[in-house]
Amino acid sequence: MSWVGKSAAEIAEAVRRGRVTAPAVVEAHLQTIAKYDERIGAFRKVRTERALAEARAVQGRADLEALPLAGVPVAIKDNVAIRGEAMRNGSAATSNSAATEDHPVVSRLRAAGAVIVGITNVPELCLVGFSDSVYGVTRNPWDLKRTPGGSSSGSAAAVAAGMVPLAHGSDGLGSLRIPAACCGLVSIKPGQEVVPAPERDWHGMSENGPLATTVTDLALALAVMAGDMSLATPGESESLEFGSAIDDYPGGLTPAEPVKLRIAMAPAPLPPGFAVDAEFQRAVVEAADTLGAAGHTVVEHDARMPGWLGSAAIAAWLACARQETEGLDPRRLEQRTRSLAKMGRLLARIGMDGSAGRDRWRAYGADQWFGNADVLITPTLAAVPPPVGRWGRRGLLPNVRTNVTYAPATAAWNMAGWPAMTVPYGWHSTGMPIGVQLVAAPGGESQLLALAAQLESAHPWLRHAPLD
């Protein structure tokens, strides 16, 4: 029996119960990576020998029967520290020295029994929604001519291609939700202080989180990353710690049915000047109808976000580019990165770094615009993923124009610090998956996961792209 293509929950249950060993599972996934990654380009580094050694160590653990992710192969985005590995952040200008300690998220994944099989590709310094860097170009498994999005590009592509069941990513202005939507996955950006953030947290806008093919896997991975196993079963209050009796995890931790919620449907919420593909708008309406049929109250949200928010988000993005390049040799940076950072410096000189708009939106603007709903549903993207290519060799205008044209719908919730996620819902006429975005106020992660589970149950999606 092949364990490639199985969910993380199924794999972990089988390893805990002795139906398969962690080394066998990891070896099978490494073989899949070797078979497909030359075409996809998801990984900057595959940790073949180290991963097998770590799998053997997991198999020998005395607490194997209590590990939520026992033997589950996991990929890590190249912007958090992994002990013994260099963190390059998609750039030739960063240090090639190996990290001496794991980032807390990596530590928690290891403690839960996960095995780190590789480090995934990102665009330079994780600054854009594309998938190219000096380490290669990552392609979308659903259409190799299109980008898988970014900046968690390699992580999304690896999961969508079935090379790993789970991956880590981070989201500063949409960098989990954008690639997940491009690749037909579920992903969640938690609110602030739920999961330990990246070391460089972009003024509180960036959060670590998981990408998965099922809501059960997503909830389980988020629970591990957060150190709060109650998130694995949204709607239930009991909190499980590692070491608790978990033999009855059902090979899936199915989120409990949520209470009836007031859901605001916003098919075209973007500020004036931003357009949303009509098929994406229709998917939002249909997904809202599905939740309405499940008993929730659905109301229309016709108001567009304020124009100043769009300007502030772009300014904040460019300010992060300026900040990320400080101390790096500009001669080793790509043209795109230099251009973004230069514009960030120019805007900073006239006091336009997006901070005033971010603080205004975070303090009261988001809450006022959100209204009295419990959850908001919007498109995740505004257009289908653009063509893959070496966008890093292009200048400011093509990169900014393409980014804000296809992926402008996520940044507002990083600016607010609120939890948001994307769920696959249908197919575009181009053959690409469509994602719908669910947003809740702080503390609403469990609500989002429970609603996503209802959408998954009513409207299942293909979990992996057909590569053969």
Point out which residues pair with 120 in neighbouring strands. Answer: 43, 77
The pLDDT value given to residue 240: 37
Name 222's Cβ contacts closer than 8 Å, sequence gap at least 6.
Answer: 188, 190, 195, 209, 210, 231, 232, 445, 449
Burial class of 103 by CB neighbour count within 10 A (0 to 12, 13 to 18, 19+): buried
The pLDDT value given to residue 468: 87
* Cα distance between residue 323 and residue 344, in whole Å: 8
* Cα distance between residue 398 and residue 401, in whole Å: 5
H helix and E strand count, the chain: 15, 13
The pLDDT value given to residue 1: 75
| Residue whose C-alpha is closest to residue 277's, from 167, 432, 118, 446 | 432
Cα 266 → chain centroid: 22
* Cα distance between residue 144 and residue 15, in whole Å: 34
* Cα distance between residue 244 and residue 280, in whole Å: 43
* Cα distance between residue 127 and residue 340, in whole Å: 9
Name 190's Cβ contacts closer than 8 Å, sequence gap at least 6.
Answer: 207, 209, 222, 226, 419, 445
The pLDDT value given to residue 257: 57
Q: DSSP letter string over 19-68?
A: SS-HHHHHHHHHHHHHHHHHHH--EEEE-HHHHHHHHHHHHT-TTGGG-T
**HEC string for 244-270:** CCCCCCCCCCCCCCCCCCEEEECCCCC
| pLDDT tens, residue order, the chain (468 aa) | 799 999 999 999 999 999 999 999 999 999 999 999 999 999 999 999 999 999 999 999 999 999 999 999 999 999 999 999 999 999 999 999 999 999 999 999 999 999 999 999 999 999 999 999 999 999 999 999 999 999 999 999 999 999 999 999 999 999 999 999 999 999 999 999 999 999 999 999 999 999 999 999 999 999 999 999 999 986 443 333 444 434 444 344 444 556 899 999 999 999 999 999 999 999 999 999 999 999 999 999 999 999 999 999 999 999 999 999 999 999 999 999 999 999 999 999 999 999 999 999 999 999 999 999 999 999 999 999 999 999 999 999 999 999 999 999 999 999 999 999 999 999 999 999 999 999 999 999 999 999 999 999 999 999 999 998
Interior CA angle at 440 toward 406 and 152, to 5°? 40
Point out which residues pair with 423 in neighbouring strands. Answer: 436
8-306+353-458: CATH topology: Amidase signature (AS) enzymes (3.90.1300)
Coil, strand, or helix at residue 225?
A: helix
Token pair, residue 250, equals 């059902």
The domain locations on the chain are 8-306+353-458
Q: Are 242 and 67 in contact (CB under 8 A)?
A: yes
The pLDDT value given to residue 256: 53
Q: Are 380 and 175 in contact (CB under 8 A)?
A: no
| Residue whose C-alpha is closest to residue 299's, from 311, 309, 291 | 291
**Catalytic residue list:** 77, 151, 175
Q: Which amino acid is at 402?
A: T
* Cα distance between residue 15 and residue 73, in whole Å: 12
* Cα distance between residue 66 and residue 54, in whole Å: 17
